[in-house]
Structure 1
Amino acid sequence: MTVQSMTGFARHTATFMSGADENAQTRISWEIRCVNGKGLDARFRIPNGFDDLELQLRTALGRIFARGSFQVSLTIEEPEAQTALVINEALLSKVMQTAQQLQNQYGLAPASVDAVLNLRGILEPPQTLSDDAGKAALKAVLLSSFDEALDALKLMRLQEGKRLSDLLGSHVDRIAELAVQARQDTSRSAEAIRERLAGQVALLLDAMNSNRSAAIVLDEQRLHMEAAFLATKADIQEELDRLDMHVAAAHKLLSDGGPAGRKLDFLSQEFNRETNTLCSKSNAASITAIGLELKAVVDQFREQVQNLE
C-alpha cells in the first residue's frame, strides 16, 4: 500500500440520453480539487434540483479518502434545443403576492423585474425528464460518474504520494547518516574534551601568569574531574539512540502505506526535539555543524509531511 498525497485534481465527463433522439444527450462533467487539510472537508457546487445528492456524494468521498480539503463542481449541459430557461410560475406567484403585501404594509417601492428574476428558483432549466424514472436514471449516472472521478483523483493522489514517500525516505536516510556521523565523532570522548579544556586553561594561565610574580600551576586531578563532568553534561548518546528509533518508525510508516500523515508529523516533532537537545548539549564545532544540518533536514521532512494523508 502506498501513502497518498492530499493534493490532486480530477475531471471526468459522461453523457446521458435525455430523450429518444440520439443527439439529445445531456453532458455531465465533474471537477474535483483537493489540497491538504487537518480532516475531511468538502464543498460542493451542484446545479439546482440536484442538492439532494450531496449526502450521497459526501458518503462516497468518505469511503475513499480520510483527509483533505475538497472542492467538487458538477456541470450539466443540456442539449441545445433544451437550454432556454423557463419561469417557475408557482414560485413567481408566491413571490409577487408576498412583495405586494410588503408594499401595502410598509409603503415599499415595487420590486424590479431584474431583482425578481435573480431570485433563486425563479428561472430554471427546462425539465428534460418527463417522469420520475427518468430523473432517477440521471441521478444514478451522476453518482456512478462521480465514483469514476473519485477513482481518477485517488490515482493522482497515489502517484503524488509515491513521489513524496521517496522524498521523505531520502530525508529519513539523511537523518540516519548524520546520526551515525555524530556517534562516530571523536570530539565526543572524555579524552578529547579533557584536551580541549586543558588547552583553554593553559591559555588562561599563561595570560594570568604574565602579570604575576608567582606562577599558578594547573591541577591535573581537578582538570580530569572537570573534563569528566563536561563529558557527562555533553553526552548525546540518548538523543542519538532516540533518533535511531524514530528513523526506524518513519521507514516502517512509509513502507506500510495508508493514512500515515498524522503519525509522520508527530515523528517530525520528535526529530526536531532530539535535534534541538543535541545542539544545546554540543561543546564541539563538529557536533554543532551536524546538529545544524540535522535541523535543516528535519525542517524539510516536516514541510513535506504536511501534504500526506
Structure 2
Amino acid sequence: MTGYAQAVCEPPAAGGDEAPARPAGRAAAAVELRSVNSRFLDLALRMPDELRGLEPGLRELLTQSLRRGKVELRLSTQQQADGAWPQPQPEQLLRLAQLESTVATWLPRAQPLSVNEVLQWCRGSQTAPRLDEAVMHAARQAVDGLLEARAREGARLVQVLLERCAHLRTLATQAAPLLPQVVQRQQQRFLERWNEALGQAGAAASLTATQLAERALNEAAAYAIRIDVAEELARLNAHLDEITRLLQAGGEVGKRLDFLIQELHREANTLGSKSAALELTTISVEMKVAIEQMREQVQNLE
C-alpha cells in the first residue's frame, strides 16, 4: 500500500524533560517514510553514517508495524535555522580549556582555538548525546502517520473490491439461466441431425426411428453433464462470500485474499473451458477481467 509520512523531533533537554523552546543552534531528527505497493515487506533505510547504530531498532519498529509494501525510511538531522549561535555553557568552556592546555603542553606550536571553532564544538556537544532518543521518537511518529495514510487508502480499496465482488455476482447470476437454454438448443440440434439422417436412409430405417430418437436424447443428456457449470458457479459465489466477509472484518487479510483470488480465477477458467455458447464465453472473459483487477488491488492490501 502507498503512503507518506514525516516527523521532526528535537532531543530532550539535558535534565530529561522536553525543552519548552528551541535552543539556538540545536539539532533535530527528521524521519521521512515512503511506502509503495509490494506483495512483501521490503525495507530500505537511508541515514547518516554516524547514526547507523540505530538501524536495528528502526528495522524492528517497522517490521512490528508493517507487513507489506516497499518502505523507504530517510533519516536526517536538521540544524535549527534560528540565525543564532549556541550559548556556550561554563562546563563546556572549562572542558575545552583543559583540552587546549593539554594540547599546548605537548604541542607548543599548535594554534589556539578561534571563537568560531569553540562555537562549533559547543554546538556539536549539545546535540550529539541524546539525539538517538529524538530519532526513535520521530520514527514512531512517522510510522503512526504512515499507518493512518495506509488505512485511508485501504478503506478506498475495500470499496473498490466490494464493487468488483458485486459485479462478479451479477455475472454469475446471468450465467446460471443460460445453461438450460444451451442444452435445449443442443438437444434440438441433435434431433434435427437424426431426422435428417433418417430422411436420407428412407423408409427402411423407419423401424429404428424411436431408437435413434432415444440415442439423440441420451447424447444431449451426456452433453449437458459435460458442460454443467453449476458447481463452478456455486464455488465462485462461496469465494465471493468469504472475500466480502474478510473485507468487512478488516485486519491483516492480504495473504488470505491472495489465495481466494486464485480460486476465483480457477473457477472462471473452468467456466470458460466448459462454455458451449458465445454468451457464456463473454461472461467468462468479463469475469477474468474483473478478477484480474481484484488481484492487482489485493496485492496492495495488508
TM-score scaled to structure 1, two decimals? Answer: 0.73
- Taking the aligned partners of 1:275 and 1:16, their CA distance within structure 2 comes to 58
Decide which of 250, 275, 279 is 1:282's aligned counterpart.
275
Unmatched segments (≥5 aa) in structure 1 = 1-5, 83-124
SS across alignment from 1:128 = helix
SS at match of 2:251: coil
What is the aligned partner in structure 2 of residue 223 from structure 1? Answer: 216
Once the two structures are TM-superposed, the CA of residue 255 in structure 1 deviates from its matched residue by: 1.1
Tell me, in whole angstroms, the C-alpha distance in 2 between the residues paired with 1:249 and 1:173. 13
**Which runs of no fewer than 5 residues in structure 2 stay unpaired?**
15-20, 86-119
Larger helix share, 1 or 2: 2
- Structure number with bigger Rg: 2
Q: Distance in 2 between matches of 1:43 and 1:190?
A: 58
Structure 1 CA distance, aligned partners of 2:180 and 2:122? 82
Residues 205 and 216 of structure 1 are in contact (CA less than 8 Å); yes or no, is this contact kept in structure 2?
Answer: no
User: Aligned residue for 2:17?
Assistant: none
Paired residues for 1:138-287 under 5 Å: 138-185=131-178, 187=180, 190-199=183-192, 201=193, 205=197, 209=200, 219-287=212-280
1:42-76 Cα offsets, whole Å, 9 max, x none, are: 11111121111111111111221112221110121
- 2: CA distance, partners of 1:163 / 1:229: 47
Residues 1:250 and 1:14: Cα distance change in structure 2 (over 3 Å): same
SS in 2 for 1:66: coil
Counterpart contact for 1:8–1:157, Cα < 8 Å? yes
Contact 2:37 2:69 in 1 (8 A): yes
- What value does the CA root-mean-square deviation take over the aligned residues? 3.1
In the TM superposition, structure 1's runs of 4+ consecutive aligned residues that sit over 4 Å from their partners are: 16-21, 79-82, 202-206, 212-218
Higher relative CO (CA 8 A, sep ≥ 6), structure 1 or 2?
A: 1
Deviations 1:207-232 (A, max 9, x none): x94xx888977721111011001001
Matched, 1:13 2:13: no
Partner of 2:76: 75
Percent identical residues: 33
The one-character-per-residue Cα deviations of 1:63-96 (angstroms, maximum 9, x if unpaired) are: 21112221110121225678xxxxxxxxxxxxxx
How many residue pairs are counted as aligned between the two chains? 257
Aligned to 1:26: 27
Contact 1:13 1:29 in 2 (8 A): yes
Distance 2:259 2:289 in 1: 17
Task: Single out whichever of 190-199 and 158-167 deviates more from structure 2.
Answer: 190-199
